[in-house]
């Protein structure tokens, strides 16, 4: 199963054998939530159907003297994934027994090859390595809620309601919203469908498994992830990234307006972790981080060459803990200590300077897409003398959110951007009537931390002569990314196109040049003052 999101952003964070692409039934149709206790057999069956796992290997010798014949394909597939050993007791059939919460987590850990590493020492009932491994995944992926602060409840029988919640979380689903699903047909016999030296890769892997001295040290999942990461990194595209499950979850949380850490949009520029912009009010902003700062080390660990996925694991940490970053700014290295915190991104903030409305957007996420037209409709009712749209340090986000922002100021059907892919050029246009009359003057503030979707909005309003752009040259990111989420929790953010302004200006690497250049010096916000002067 794949989910897709069209993205324009500088924010950072698929196994080789891709699982089934389409689920025919919802998990709510598969799992019986009213069951007081779930049997081992039922949980195995529900897991394979809910997660659309492959059951093609149905011919095997099972460790049970007897079992339901209709379940053999599921049992063989589970055995091949080492997910059946938890239920074997001699030759006795134990599949009819109630499955515990811990056993259910161990089954999913085996089926999904999940290998997260978080602290679970607080749970006194988690003792064996198998239990620790399974609970680590449950905590990292939010599969299951602990019974108490010091007891996870792994020995408790699993209820039908818990099974439903668990499988929804493991599949990336939701109790209240259905995840959009698309089918991607991957051909296996063409140059497009396989690596040029796939035979060599397979041969090396087989030789390692056959002859390597320390074969017991081989971690298949880690090897696969590193192979995928190397493939993606070979593209030398800072905006194309592979996310392991935890990072993929963090990435989606950020788009939804929630994340933990220092609060900065970052990207990998030629192997160097680079700040695009600190988020407003974040620990990063309070500590003085700036756009274009290069993060060289985190608590003494060198980050150069690690990539976004690994680098952020050293930058993030528990709320209240601190991280000391070595920053390179204008070829001068400095150290900055930042106390980590839970970051709640206030995407939209509205303030009034007399009769002038100031609308600050922190990113173009789901909140902006859903609420911004209502915000501007409310502003319009108050008859503002002018509007300032503050996009400074806005690192981008969703293309649809950018379209929606522009729609408030331009007639329905106005071109927002031209998008050039490998095969075609399309136009993004506004889909709604404006909320703000063209008699109300508009100023857009940008700086070097304004990137991607921010540049689309500023460039469109500049081309259509609807706004005066004030500030400094923007970041200069003119490519479009698509996020493809995999059922097993990973995601691929891949560059699929580049965009131009409505008049065909290419801004990748160049940025938006303001109509009026204004620097922000010290504590004085000269850019805002200049914008107010224009409107008054």
List, in order, residues 6 or more apart from 215 with CB less than 8 Å away.
208, 209
Beta-strand pair 468-471/441-446:
parallel
Which of 326, 418, 448, 477 does the annotation list as catalytic?
477
Can you give the pLDDT at residue 180? Answer: 38
Catalytic-residue membership of 452: yes
DSSP percent split of the chain into helix, strand, coil, nearest 5: 30, 25, 45
pLDDT (tens digit, 0 to 9) for every residue of the chain, 536 residues total? 344 455 554 433 222 222 222 233 567 778 887 778 888 888 988 888 888 787 765 678 877 766 776 788 888 888 888 887 777 655 555 777 889 999 999 999 888 887 778 888 888 898 888 889 899 988 888 888 888 888 899 999 998 888 888 888 887 643 333 333 344 445 444 455 567 888 888 888 888 888 888 888 888 888 888 899 899 989 988 888 888 886 776 666 555 555 567 888 787 888 899 988 887 778 999 999 998 899 999 999 999 988 776 788 788 877 788 999 999 999 999 999 999 887 766 789 999 999 999 999 988 888 888 899 999 999 999 999 999 999 998 888 888 899 999 999 999 999 999 988 888 888 999 999 999 999 999 999 999 889 989 999 999 999 999 999 999 999 998 888 888 877 777 888 888 889 899 999 998 889 999 999 998 776 688 999 999 999 98
Query: Are 243 and 490 in contact, with CB atoms under 8 Å apart?
Result: yes
Determine whether 407 is an active site residue.
no
Ordered by start, the domain boundaries in the chain are 23-171, 198-233, 258-343, 348-535
For residue 496, what is the enclosing H or E element?
strand 491-500
Options 452, 454, 474, 488, the catalytic residue? 452
What per-residue string of b and e applies to 355-390 under the rule 16 or more CB within 10 Å gives b? ebbbbbbbbbbbbbbeebbebbeebbeeebebbbbb
Q: How far apart are CA 142 and CA 119, in angstroms?
A: 14
pLDDT, residue 97, reads 83
Architecture, CATH, for domain 258-343: Roll (2.30)
Q: What pLDDT shows up at residue 269?
A: 83
Which residue, chain included where needed, has tokens 């919203």? 177
Closest CA to 163 of 65, 45, 335: 45
Among candidate residues 125, 237, 463, 508, the one labeled active-site is 463
Query: Does domain 348-535 match CATH 3.90.226.10?
Result: yes
Q: What is the pLDDT of residue 119?
A: 84
The tokens for 255 are 């788009």
For residue 491, the cross-strand partners are: 243, 485
Pairing of strands 491-500, 479-486: antiparallel
**In this structure, what DSSP letter does residue 98 have?**
B
Q: What is the pLDDT, as a whole number, of residue 251?
A: 64
Annotation marks residue 463 as catalytic: yes
């Amino acid at each position: 199963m794949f989910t897709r999101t069209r993205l324009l952003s500088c924010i950072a964070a698929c196994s080789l054998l891709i699982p089934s692409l389409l689920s025919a039934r919802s998990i709510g149709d598969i799992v019986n939530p009213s069951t007081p206790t779930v049997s081992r057999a039922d949980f195995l069956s529900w897991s394979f159907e809910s997660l659309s796992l492959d059951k093609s290997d149905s011919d095997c010798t099972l460790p049970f003297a007897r079992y339901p014949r209709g379940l053999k394909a599921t049992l063989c597939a589970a055995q091949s994934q080492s997910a059946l050993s938890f239920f074997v007791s001699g030759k006795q059939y134990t599949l009819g027994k109630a499955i515990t919460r811990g056993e259910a987590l161990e089954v999913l850990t085996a089926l999904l090859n999940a290998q997260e590493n978080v602290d679970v020492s607080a749970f006194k009932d988690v003792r064996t390595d198998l239990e620790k491994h399974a609970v680590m995944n449950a905590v990292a992926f939010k599969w299951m809620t602990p019974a108490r602060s010091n007891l996870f409840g792994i020995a408790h029988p699993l209820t039908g309601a818990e099974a439903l919640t668990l499988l929804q979380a493991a599949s990336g689903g939701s109790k209240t919203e259905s995840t959009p699903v698309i089918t991607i047909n991957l051909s296996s016999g063409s140059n497009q469908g396989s690596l040029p030296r796939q035979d060599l890769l397979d041969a090396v892997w087989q030789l390692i498994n056959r002859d390597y001295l320390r074969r017991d040290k081989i971690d298949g999942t880690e090897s696969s992830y590193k192979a995928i990461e190397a493939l993606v990194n070979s593209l030398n595209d800072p905006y194309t990234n592979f996310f392991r499950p935890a990072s993929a979850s963090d990435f989606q949380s950020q788009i939804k307006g929630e994340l933990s850490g220092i609060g900065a949009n970052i990207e990998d520029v030629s192997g160097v972790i680079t700040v695009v912009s600190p988020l407003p009010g974040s620990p990063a902003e309070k500590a003085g981080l700036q756009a274009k700062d290069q993060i060289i080390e985190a608590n003494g660990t060198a980050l150069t060459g690690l990539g976004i996925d690994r680098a952020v694991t050293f930058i993030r940490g528990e709320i209240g803990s601190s991280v000391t970053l070595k920053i390179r700014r204008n070829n001068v290295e400095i150290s900055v200590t930042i106390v980590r915190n839970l970051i709640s991104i206030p995407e939209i903030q509205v303030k009034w300077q007399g009769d002038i409305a100031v609308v600050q957007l922190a990113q173009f996420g789901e909140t902006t897409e859903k609420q911004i037209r209502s915000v501007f409709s409310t502003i319009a009712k108050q008859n503002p003398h002018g509007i300032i749209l503050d996009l400074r340090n806005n690192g981008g986000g969703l293309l649809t959110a950018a379209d929606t922002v522009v729609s408030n100021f331009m007639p329905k059907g106005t071109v927002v951007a031209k998008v050039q892919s490998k095969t075609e050029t399309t136009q993004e246009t506004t889909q709604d009537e404006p909320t703000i009359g063209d008699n109300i003057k508009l100023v857009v503030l940008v700086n070097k931390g304004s990137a991607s979707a921010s540049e689309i909005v500023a460039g469109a309003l500049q081309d259509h002569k609807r706004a005066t752009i004030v500030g400094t040259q923007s970041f200069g990111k003119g490519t479009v990314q698509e996020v493809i989420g995999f059922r097993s929790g990973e995601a691929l953010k891949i560059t699929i196109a580049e965009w131009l302004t409505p008049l065909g200006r290419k801004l990748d690497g160049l940025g938006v040049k303001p109509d009026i250049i204004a620097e922000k010096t010290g504590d004085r916000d000269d850019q805002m003052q200049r914008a107010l002067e224009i409107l008054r």
